[in-house]
Structure 1
């Protein structure tokens, strides 16, 4: 896995042949940005709304680089189909790459790259979810929607009186910590690479001491169900869980059980296990094939949003530009490491 591009490349010389990139799973807003930015880099994008798949691998014929979204799993079969037609580089338009079978890509001699984008998008959203959770915003708004303007049954809490535990202090986690400092409460953090200036403690200690736990660590074999039944059981009674990282960092079944039993004060989730095929789709007139999601949405102290924390104009522009630059650097033989 190579590092994300973090600089702007100068427009390509007219004498240099244009580089082709096939862009899969591209929504209208991303497509507009690719069409706007690609010519400045000497790139000709082949844009499709179709998610990357074995069946649609042929759309990449003639291009060594493809750009994919985070909504679709990139399987071994898909990678093999892409490799057979000459694709050597897969750029995902996301920080996380747990949706790609990276080991299969490596076996096939392919390189996988992620992107960097404004951490402020997710950090701002995370603070919004924290404030909504501790002020019971979901319950308040639901009552107002039916013209019930009484005060809520429970008083809200102020962040300055609470301890917030930040799990993962990469670019997003660090941006969350920067924002939290302005509220004046106590901040704890845990990370495999502790950073100076932050009170780092082991994960179990963080869970025991925190009133709010917010997740910002990458998803991998070691962090899947990082908050499982045992660790959720360590949390303070009435504590809140915030997840804008990846759904599988949380054992959803254990979370639902703790919420139903009143063990936790609430949760605010922008990501969820089994969100694939549900989030980003209009399901108003269709069934939602995820019973845990439906149960969470029934609970008055749980906020669910459809993986939208990253979705700002600034972050989306970063994502498209860095995906293009990653591909160009791969083609030039000078990938950033």
Structure 2
């Protein structure tokens, strides 16, 4: 099943009229890790969809590897540019399924012009929801500095005491499947929960976004990235947050104005941040950058702060989510091949 947060629907246009190369039922899966490749082969065999896993990320230079298949699967880790889409189209590809909920890495307008359909997949919202709660707890209990101290055999207690979630108000921005799962978990901690969404659907107290920003001790972001949500938490809104408040982002990096966040953290206005996604993460996250200049000064400054937790876009990275992603990718492609894609 394809899914999306905050009512976002996948771009859906049928193939153009120009002749297509002959094809056979099957899927080329680009950017596959070893466990993804194994899962695709195993589940593809069971569902009757042959899969050709490719370790390399898709690009214009290797799009020919998909020739003979109308369907390809791509990762969220790589931008799918117009040049790549054109090369895929020339190879006979008509359907692209991203192994993610978000579409922001794909040039959807170009895909539409080329007559290519684009789909996404749903996966266990619990993976990201669990991780979000973990980041909240780590942030308010100053886990980063505690772990650093104990790693160097310093077992003294921090001079700053942590906070308990039951004493805090948490604002959840975006209550699709993941945001709603976060709301459900927060209830178990006894904290006050506020929510904001253009399409309210969870059992929560919904308030205007600016109201949520001003009243919350923790603001957690779960909206898709669109032109409207770019820098949703901008300088104006960050400056209106409660003194000592925390920001958690497991959505997309550009939902946050990084420069404004840095200013608020460095001048002591905010208590901290826990970020699984950051602006400009492409080409850095998922790579071994030890001993290298990462080329993202904002990220480097964030990581130097003792009250900022950074993880490399890994909230979704669970065994259950892998199963869901692979299965729903294959089902999407089978539906496309049979002409039943919604």
Could you tell me how far apart the structure 2 residues matched to 1:34 and 1:179 are? 31
Contact 2:2 2:332 in 1 (8 A): no
| Equivalent residue number for residue 136 of structure 2 | 130
| Equivalent residue number for residue 37 of structure 1 | 43
Could you tell me how far apart the structure 1 residues matched to 2:33 and 2:213 are? 38
**Ranges of 4+ aligned residues in structure 1 off by more than 3 Å:** 2-5
| Equivalent residue number for residue 288 of structure 1 | 294
What displacement does 1:196 show?
A: 5.3
Q: How many residue pairs align between the two structures? A: 324
Q: TM-score, normalised by structure 2?
A: 0.93
Say which SS state the counterpart of residue 66 (structure 1) adopts. Answer: strand
| Equivalent residue number for residue 204 of structure 2 | 198
Say which SS state the counterpart of residue 189 (structure 2) adopts. Answer: coil
Which of 149, 167, 187 is matched with 1:181 structurally? 187
- 1:67-82 correspondence runs (5 A): 67-82=73-88
What displacement does 1:194 show?
A: 1.2
- 1:309-324 correspondence runs (5 A): 309-324=315-330
Which of 150, 155, 163 is matched with 2:156 structurally? 150
| Equivalent residue number for residue 8 of structure 2 | none
What displacement does 1:18 show?
A: 6.7
Say which SS state the counterpart of residue 50 (structure 2) adopts. Answer: strand
Could you tell me how far apart the structure 2 residues matched to 1:231 and 1:202 are? 12
- 1:84-95 correspondence runs (5 A): 84-95=90-101
What displacement does 1:283 show?
A: 1.1
Kindly provide the CA deviation profile for residues 35-87 of structure 1, in whole angstroms up to 9, marking residues without a partner as x. 11111111111111111111111001011000000000001111111111211
Contact 2:58 2:74 in 1 (8 A): yes
The alignment status of 1:120 with 2:146, answered yes or no, reads no
Could you tell me how far apart the structure 2 residues matched to 1:60 and 1:138 are? 44
Could you tell me how far apart the structure 2 residues matched to 1:189 and 1:164 are? 8
Say which SS state the counterpart of residue 323 (structure 1) adopts. Answer: helix
Contact 2:2 2:328 in 1 (8 A): no
What displacement does 1:195 show?
A: 2.3
Kindly provide the CA deviation profile for residues 252-297 of structure 1, in whole angstroms up to 9, marking residues without a partner as x. 1111111000010000000011111111111113221111111111
The alignment status of 1:257 with 2:263, answered yes or no, reads yes
Q: TM-score, normalised by structure 1?
A: 0.94
Could you tell me how far apart the structure 2 residues matched to 1:298 and 1:235 are? 22
Contact 1:18 1:44 in 2 (8 A): no
Could you tell me how far apart the structure 2 residues matched to 1:20 and 1:184 are? 49
| Equivalent residue number for residue 19 of structure 2 | none
Contact 1:21 1:43 in 2 (8 A): yes
Contact 2:176 2:201 in 1 (8 A): no
Could you tell me how far apart the structure 2 residues matched to 1:4 and 1:167 are? 18
Contact 1:18 1:43 in 2 (8 A): no
Could you tell me how far apart the structure 2 residues matched to 1:188 and 1:51 are? 39
Contact 2:175 2:202 in 1 (8 A): no
Q: Which runs of 5+ in 2 are unaligned?
A: 5-22
| Equivalent residue number for residue 102 of structure 1 | 108
The alignment status of 1:332 with 2:325, answered yes or no, reads no
What displacement does 1:209 show?
A: 0.1
Say which SS state the counterpart of residue 242 (structure 1) adopts. Answer: strand
